[in-house]
Structure 1
Amino acid sequence: MRKGEFLNLITLLFLFSVYSQSTITGKVVAITDGDTFKLLTKDSTLIRVRVANIDCPERKQPFSKKAKQFTSDAIFDKYVKVEEFKKDRYGRSIAYVYYDNKNLSKELLKAGFAWHYVKYSNDKTLQKLEEIAKSNKKGLWLDPHAIAPWDWRSNKKKRKK
């Protein structure tokens, strides 16, 4: 491949990644848990949204209810902007969520109600927010033995077998 063709290919890939994100606005009509909610769009489409780059405690984990309440207080019954960049295996939109000029992923991390999901994100800002919350013992970081949701899910699967 010649240098010019390579640069054209890189440019096309960049443009595709920029324009493959879709921005949706709508009203939050239900909170499923700390990192998942339902959005009703202007055309009455109901979309399940999973907040990008973080993972909140699972339903039976400590701080699950507080994470859900935080998300509810932040966005329930409000209009939000969602930047979807992919769908997960459950059909949910994985998205950046913005409300009141805030990023929900960052706010959950600052409050100590989520882990930075490093398996899917290498965002250094999000990692720093988690570290600050942890060092200040905010939210779930009050528990010195807090178990990340992905580890909790894995342990739960092992117990079933």
Structure 2
Amino acid sequence: MKKINKILGLLVFILIIYVPCFAENYKVLYVSDGDTVAVKRTENDKETGELIKVRLFGIDAPEINQDYGYESKQTLINFIRNKNVKIYGKKKDRYGRVLGTVYYNNENINEKMVKTGNAWWYEKYDKKNVRMKQYQEAAQKNKLGIFAKKNYISPWEFRKIKREKKKRKN
């Protein structure tokens, strides 16, 4: 009995890890900012179902009202808007967005945003991702994207400063 339970547990674990919650193809209809998109499932080149918001897992892009926010959003638009992508993700964030990894032509777009300096590696939520750490360090070293600016501020620091200013006003 213990052996069967172990095998069943292993099978469930494998299904959770390797089976994405989404079907294969989605069309990117809207880009909110450098780390959030809205998609619809596609079947036979036709959009179907409801609009789904996807937060790109493991990255954090500048806020729209932050320095370089518009440029980051525009970069993501150039990479994937109106394109058919594959999305792998299971969990949702506190805003109900799916946390996912987006692929276009087998290229990891989450990684591409960090590689090009258009988003930060979000270490807080993706601590063990050594590759993303290396991509960010290379972007910083080569002064790509946001890292070409002087005195750049990470999005989480920007949000913290905004919250503190708001508290002081109240």
TM above 0.5 = yes
User: CA shift at 1:9, angstroms?
Assistant: 7.9
Is 1:22 matched with 2:21?
yes
Unaligned 5+ segments in structure 2 are: 43-47
Is the deviation greater in 90-99 or in 6-15?
A: 6-15
- Using the TM superposition, give the Cα deviation of residue 11 of structure 1 relative to its aligned residue in structure 2, in angstroms: 2.3
Q: State how far apart, in whole Å, the 2-side matches of 1:9 and 1:116 are.
A: 35
Q: Which of 124, 127, 130 is 2:136 aligned to?
A: 130
- Aligned counterpart in structure 2 of residue 141 of structure 1, from 144, 147, 156: 147
Which moves more between the two structures, 102-111 or 7-16? 7-16
Cα deviation for residue 85 of structure 1 reads 2.1
Letter in 1 for 2:58: N
Gaps spanning 5+ residues in structure 1: where?
Answer: none
Distance 2:39 2:152 in 1: 30
Write out the 4+ residue segments of structure 1 that deviate beyond 3 Å after TM superposition: 3-10
1:105 aligned partner, one-letter code: N
% of aligned pairs identical? 36
Residues 88-119 of structure 1: CA deviation (Å, up to 9, x unaligned): 11110100000022111111011101110000
Which residue number in structure 2 is paired with residue 48 of structure 1? 53
Aligned partner of 1:62 in structure 2 is: 67
Matched residues, number: 160
Counterpart among 68, 85, 89 of residue 90 in structure 2: 85
Question: What is the aligned partner in structure 2 of residue 34 from structure 1?
Answer: 34
Aligned: 1:98 with 2:122: no
Separation (CA, whole Å) in 2 of partners of 1:13 and 1:41: 26
| Cα distance in structure 2, aligned partners of 1:126 and 1:10 | 31
Following the alignment from structure 1 to structure 2, what is the Cα–Cα distance between the partners of residues 17 and 152?
A: 35
C-alpha distance in structure 2 between counterparts of 1:110 and 1:143, whole Å: 16
Q: Which amino acid aligns with 1:27?
A: K
TM-score, normalization by structure 1 = 0.90
- Residues in 1 aligned to 2:141 and 2:118: alpha-carbon distance in whole angstroms: 14
- Judged with a 3 Å threshold, the aligned counterparts in structure 2 of structure 1 residues 137 and 45 are, in CA distance, closer, same or farther, namely same
**What is the RMSD computed on CA atoms of the aligned residues?**
2.0
